[in-house]
Amino acid sequence: MGIKVLHLIDSGGLYGAEKMLLSLVKHQMEQGLEPMILSAGAPNVGEKPLEREASQMGLPLIAWRMKPGLNIAESGEILQWARANGYDILHSHGFKFNVLLGARPLIVRRIPMIATLHGYVHAKRFSKMWLYELLDRLAINCLQFVVLVGEAMRKELPPRLRKSKKVKVIANGLDSETIEHHSTMRVDLEIRGFVARHSPIVLGVGRLSEEKGFDRLIDAFPAVCNEFENAGLILVGEGKQREALEMRKGKLGLGHRVLMPGYSNNVPAIQNIADLIVVPSRTEGLPITLLEAMALGLPVLASPVGEIPFVLGNGEGGYLLPEDCDYSELGSCIVNSLRDSQQKSKVNWSLRRVSNHYSVKAMEKSYRELYQSALGDQA
């Protein structure tokens, strides 16, 4: 019998954390582990993108609907269910379960728990998200291990935890064969039509939220249109900022230049028909979208935040934006990146980088060893 792992997540789409989790679970099963994804959501929520994708991939998942917020009682039910079903490890992917289950000491929880920190959003002070992040930083002290997706995230931790032996760095890994396969599939008719009418195609992918910086990308795009007569921008994703971004593009007269098709379950296919991907984030961990683009040979322009500068070799494998750049600088950087004669050498560097350092097999092995350590410490 392999280690039984219960992965805990309250997912808002199919973005970096979700893709990493699906790849990890798939390869854990191949190595003889017994993983299960517990996908939490509010009682009125239908099938989530993560749940649909897991079903299509044949991965084990239970959809658990519960009242949102700090639902201590229901999280206790989850813990009882995990014990009753013999799970050896709890693995949290997000602040919700870090707080609800991680804050309980091991002597109470009775199941070792680790958490992967995929990144903080740096919410506005005293907002609900700010409070959750504060509670998260307190709760993770009770966990057996805390995993960072990159060394740059260490500074986000409470001071006394930064040098703790319980903090480990495990880079996100890619299932390159699956990504290559998905990249050859046909994209939606709406996107195909847009690509037929526009060139070059600039791409942004992610949750439509403030920290992702898509407002800056839209503001920068008129400068790109001034240099490229038929330039088009595709923003893939959903989120609370959709309405504001739609209004922004309309105000700038970009209605026909910017396509916002919503959530997509096949980003690699869209990346495969783009000319440049821009990651204008204000804060990041290690974006899976960035690694996917590198693996597919798509040139990258990204903010110098989180693990991005390290992954891109400080510019050897892509283009880095100036720190705190405004939309005017961003527009110039997009134009320069599209015209750069050194683009091919950067793409080749990125292909080697992903192949050598960001494999899903290495990621799975590192997590398996961490589970074994957590179980050994408990014994």
Q: Are residues 201 and 282 in the same domain?
A: yes
Do 152 and 242 lie in a common domain? no
Q: What is the pLDDT of residues 74-115, one digit of tens each?
A: 889 999 999 999 999 999 998 888 888 888 888 888 999 999
The three-state (H, E, C) secondary structure of 244-283, written as one string: HHHHHHHHCCCCCCEEEEECCCCHHHHHCCCCEEEECCCC
Question: Same domain for 250 and 352?
Answer: yes
| Mean pLDDT of the region 351-370 | 94
Are 337 and 207 part of one and the same domain?
yes
- Give the tens place of pLDDT for each residue, 111-165: 999 999 887 666 667 677 667 777 777 778 889 999 999 898 888 888 888 889 9
The CA distance from 277 to 234, in Å, is 10
- Indicate whether 129 and 187 sit together in one domain: no
- Number of separate domains in the chain: 2
Q: Are both 188 and 324 inside the same structural domain?
A: yes
Alpha-carbon distance 63 to 61, whole Å? 7
Question: Which residue matches tokens 């995990």?
Answer: 82
The verdict on 203 and 150 lying in the same domain is no
In angstroms, the Cα distances linking 361 to 173, 174, 268, 282, 366 are: 7, 8, 20, 30, 9
364 and 338 housed in the same domain = no
Strand, coil or helix: 140: helix
More confident position, 367 or 118: 367
Residues 363 and 339 in one domain: no
Q: What is the pLDDT of residue 377?
A: 67
Residues 200 and 324 in one domain: yes
Strand partners, 61: 37
The pLDDT of residue 370: 97
Question: What is the pLDDT, as a whole number, of residue 129?
Answer: 66
According to DSSP, the β-strands at 167-169 and 201-205 are unpaired
pTM: 0.84
Q: What are phi and psi of 62, to 5 degrees?
A: -120, 130
The H or E element spanning position 192 is helix 189-197
34 and 168 share one domain: yes
Task: Tell me the CATH number at 24.
Answer: 3.40.50.2000
Query: In 10 A of CB 280, how many CB atoms?
Result: 25
Residues whose CB falls within 8 Å of the CB of residue 225, separated by 6 or more in sequence, listed in order:
231, 254, 257
* pLDDT at site 286: 87
What range does the domain containing 251 cover? 176-357
Q: Read off the pLDDT of residues 194-236 as tens digits, 9 standing for 90 and up.
A: 999 999 999 999 999 999 999 999 999 999 999 999 999 999 9
Share of the chain above pLDDT 70, in %: 96
Beta bridge partners of 36: 6
**Cα atoms in the 13 Å half-sphere on the side-chain side of 340:** 20
Contact 16/45 with Cβ under 8 angstroms?
no
Please report which confidence band the pLDDT of residue 12 belongs to, taking 50, 70 and 90 as the band edges: confident
What was the pLDDT predicted at 122? Answer: 64
For the chain, list the strands marked E by DSSP.
4-9, 34-41, 61-65, 89-92, 113-117, 145-148, 167-169, 201-205, 232-236, 258-262, 276-279, 300-302, 319-320
Distance, in Å, from the CA atom of 69 to the CA atom of 54, rounded to the nearest integer, reads 25
Mark whether 92 and 144 lie in a shared domain. Answer: yes
Give the SS3 label for residue 379: coil
Whether the per-residue pLDDT at 264 is higher than 70: the answer is: yes
Of 247, 271, 258, nearest to 198 (Cα)?
A: 258
pLDDT of 92: 95
Furthest-apart CA pair in the chain: how many Å?
66
CA 206 – CA 285 distance, rounded (Å):
13
Report d(CA 134, CA 139) in Å as an integer: 9
